[in-house]
């Protein structure tokens, strides 16, 4: 039992900031995980790496109102799932801005991962606010600032919220490394606001 639910905490970084709230959705997390695991149309996408095509090491689904262009691909959005739309509205209230798209990722076990990248597509603007909700198995999330060599590491547990804000997508990179010994799945939702039109 959590006697002292944590409070949201702003972490100031060189050229960026994070809002970290480990227990943000502790009460809802079990029900959200169970529903999203079964009801999201999870897809296996392919990745081009050194001229070869490979399966991405995770399943995913892009949802919302806008097409999403990344790594040379364009993904048409799936329509809002009612629960995902509701989570998005809660986050909009917390973050003080609306979101019109979300990338959902399903990491089936510790062998699934996401490599180093920044969410710096031009449609996201100069100071994108990216709100990331984690459900299921806790996984380690790592951040690095190539300019200074600074690094951060956070364990993103069941029901946690991490908001990346400020100019950090232009100066920091993040990743979700493979982790030995994790045999349970994790779902992550990263809500974004894209300029449309």
Positions in 45-74 near ligand AKG (CB under 6 A)? none
Residues 124-143, mask of contacts with ligand AKG (x by CB under 6 A): --------x--------x--
Interface with ligand AKG (CB under 6 A), residue from 190, 191, 193, 194: 190
Taking residues 86 to 125 in sequence order and writing x for each that binds Fe ion by CB under 5 A, - otherwise, the string is ---------------------------------x------
Q: Which is nearer to ligand AKG, 15 or 113 (CB)?
A: 113
Return the number of the residue (26 or 43) whose C-beta is nearest Fe ion: 43
The contacts found for 92-97 with CB under 8 angstroms, 24 or more apart, are: 94/131, 94/161, 94/163, 95/129, 95/131, 95/163, 97/129, 97/193
Output the six-digit token pair for 131.
Answer: 């709100």
Beta-carbon contacts of 146 under 8 Å, excluding residues fewer than 6 positions away, are: 171, 173
CA distance 175 to 137: 16
CB 56, min distance to Fe ion, A = 13
Alpha helices in the chain (DSSP H): 29-39, 82-95
Indicate the residue among 67 and 175 with the shorter CB distance to Fe ion.
Answer: 175
Nearest 5°: phi and psi at 10?
A: -85, 130
Q: Nearest 10 degrees: CA dihedral of 121, 122, 124, 130? A: 30
Nearest residue by C-beta to ligand AKG? 188
In this complex, which beta carbon is closest to ligand AKG, that of residue 3 or of residue 184? 184
Give the residues lining the site for ligand AKG (CB under 6 A).
103, 105, 114, 119, 132, 141, 156, 174, 176, 188, 190
């Amino acid at each position: 039992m959590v006697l002292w639910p944590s409070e949201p905490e702003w972490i100031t970084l060189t050229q960026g900031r994070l809002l970290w709230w480990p227990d943000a959705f502790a009460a809802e997390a079990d029900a959200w995980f169970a529903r999203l695991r079964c009801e999201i149309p999870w897809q296996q996408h392919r990745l081009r790496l050194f001229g070869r095509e490979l399966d991405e090491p995770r399943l995913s689904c892009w949802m919302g109102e806008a097409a999403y262009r990344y790594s040379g691909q364009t993904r048409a959005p799936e329509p809002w799932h009612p629960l995902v739309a509701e989570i998005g509205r809660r986050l909009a209230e917390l973050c003080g801005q609306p979101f019109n798209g979300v990338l959902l990722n399903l990491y089936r076990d510790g062998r699934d991962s996401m490599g180093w990248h920044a969410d710096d597509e031009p449609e996201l603007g100069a100071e994108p606010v990216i709100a990331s909700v984690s459900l299921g198995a806790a996984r380690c999330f790592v951040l690095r600032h190539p300019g200074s060599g600074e690094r951060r590491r956070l364990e993103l547990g069941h029901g946690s919220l991490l908001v990346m804000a400020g100019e950090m997508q232009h100066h920091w990179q993040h990743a979700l490394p493979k982790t030995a010994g994790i045999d349970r799945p994790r779902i992550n939702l990263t809500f974004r606001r894209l300029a449309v039109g």
